[in-house]
Structure 1
Amino acid sequence: MHPGAAVRKRAAERRSETGRSLEEWLALVKNTIVPLYREHVFAQIKPTTNSRVDFGLALTHLQREIAQATDGYRRAGQKRPYHASN
């Protein structure tokens, strides 16, 4: 086993431990991501590099509020306005 594989294995084990500690929010712990659930997935944790973890939020239920708060633009410099449906 090369050194990179050992690091990834340790990272996967840590994600699994973290996932098990959040049992009420999790349905299952996958190899590459840890989804966080309530009724639906609201976030996911995934590795990006050997020293960094990405935490992503699913905010689709807040699209209208985000569009209003940002005056229709999702991020700075974006040319096309974003309008939430309904």
Structure 2
Amino acid sequence: MNLSAGVAYANIVCVQANERPGMMRVRPLQPDSSYLVHKIQGTQTTVGGSGGQMPLGLTPLSGQQISLIRAWITEGAKNN
């Protein structure tokens, strides 16, 4: 997945997750229905996903960092 500046947004918002068909990577307004949230929380298998917690091989995000991502999604996942 290309997460470079200028293309990252189009590659994650309203795009189907490869590991969990039928679930979007980021579903605006719905963090609990966003596969990205499950991947960073390490709960991807509870929604039928697979793979490891992200970021893979690095220290998991803090609760505060995850809360910021959840808030961004809850507020509509705007491209700003």
Fold-level match, TM-score > 0.5? no
Which of structures 1 and 2 has the bigger CA Rg?
A: 1
> Structure 1 or 2: larger strand share?
1
Q: So what's the TM-score if we normalise by structure 2?
A: 0.25
Q: So what's the TM-score if we normalise by structure 1?
A: 0.24
